[in-house]
Structure 1
Amino acid sequence: MIESIEELEAIRKTCHSMVTKSSSLSAGAAVIPIPGVDIGSDVAILMRLIPKINQKFGLTPEQIDSLDTESKLFVMTAISNTGSKMAGKYITKKLIVMLLSKMGVKVASKGVAKFVPFVGSAVAGGISFSAMKYMGSRHIEDCYQIALATLENERRKHEIIIEPAPKQGG
């Protein structure tokens, strides 16, 4: 469990670095002028990246299941409130493909761009990098908001309210 805002910020920074590296891999695959290679690699990259981000923020299904009932309910509500499609979920190929298809314009233009010699590959790489960076960064921010809300909820639960002692003999 995340203990402080500082720890949460460090996790966010680490995850952004992972997303940047993954985005570079995606861009590299997009430059290869073979149709379909980049989509397959994007799915594979996201199938590894998203669970790693979830794990860092304590939001894998297993981590959530290990919480007490009240905390589990709070986390699931926070996930629902952010609208996250990937936090707290088992990441499947079907889920990744669905999310990539929601970014359809970028994916389609990336495929078409490959057929323009040289410049097209560079454009496809740029689109791929941007799409992967956007998806990863958005997921990090969702996870950050969920973890922040959970941290604040835990702090409220553990605050000790000190009441003044009743006066004696008075």
Structure 2
Amino acid sequence: MPTALHLAADDAALQAAVQRSRKLLHKRALLAAVASAMPVPGLDWAVDAALLSRLIPAINKEFGLAPEQIDQLDPGKREQVQKAVAMVGSVLIGSFVSRDLVLKAASKIGTRIATKQLARFVPLAGQIVAASVGYAAIRYFGEEHMKDCIRVARQAQLRLN
């Protein structure tokens, strides 16, 4: 399965957007890991939703796919972007990202989240597992979102600065 960086391999602007997005993603995933290690029920869900509701718009912006950026495109290009978003099937590109929308989209990583919840009840080792799974889940979600952004940018023939 190709990574976002592999998908952007022949486009320097897309590669740069992936690198910037990965820096953001790494920081947020570390915060998610810390929250996952805390033995407070529900804290990780709240933190994950808050982190993702800020991370996804930041990634969109790196790829020129934030709602305000799309609104500034000429009508023909805007239509191309909207069609590309529909083809890719992402509900998180080019729209206002709410916590509810993030939680619905996060159902892709539901098994990992359930594992994280169960692991937390095992002293020490469980917290380490929960933190690892929390980090991995956010990284996976962010990487998949970057791939969607790359696909949309390519299909819509967007030029990134």
TM-score tier, shorter chain, comes to 0.7 to 0.9
- Residues 103-161 of structure 1: CA deviation (Å, up to 9, x unaligned): 22211221111110000001111111111001000001111121123337x7xxxxxxx
Normalising by structure 1, we get a TM-score of 0.83
Structure 1 runs, 4 residues or longer, greater than 6 Å off: none
Partner of 1:146 in structure 2? 152
5+ long unaligned stretches in structure 1:
155-170
Q: After superposing the two structures, state which structure 1 stretch, 26-35 or 94-103, moved more.
A: 94-103
1:26-41 mapped onto 2 (5 Å cutoff): 26-41=32-47
Partner of 2:25 in structure 1? 19
Q: Give the CA RMSD over aligned residues.
A: 1.6
CA contact (8 A) 2:37 2:131 kept: yes
Number of residue pairs the alignment of both structures matches: 150
1:104-123 mapped onto 2 (5 Å cutoff): 104-123=110-129
CA contact (8 A) 1:8 1:148 kept: no
- Whose radius of gyration is greater, 1 or 2? 1
- Residues 51-85 of structure 1: CA deviation (Å, up to 9, x unaligned): 10111111111211221111011001111111222
Distance 2:111 2:86 in 1: 26
Amino acid in structure 2 at the alignment position of 1:67:
L
CA contact (8 A) 1:59 1:143 kept: yes
Report % sequence identity.
36
Partner of 2:136 in structure 1? 130
5+ long unaligned stretches in structure 2:
1-9
Q: After superposing the two structures, state which structure 1 stretch, 109-118 or 16-25, moved more.
A: 16-25
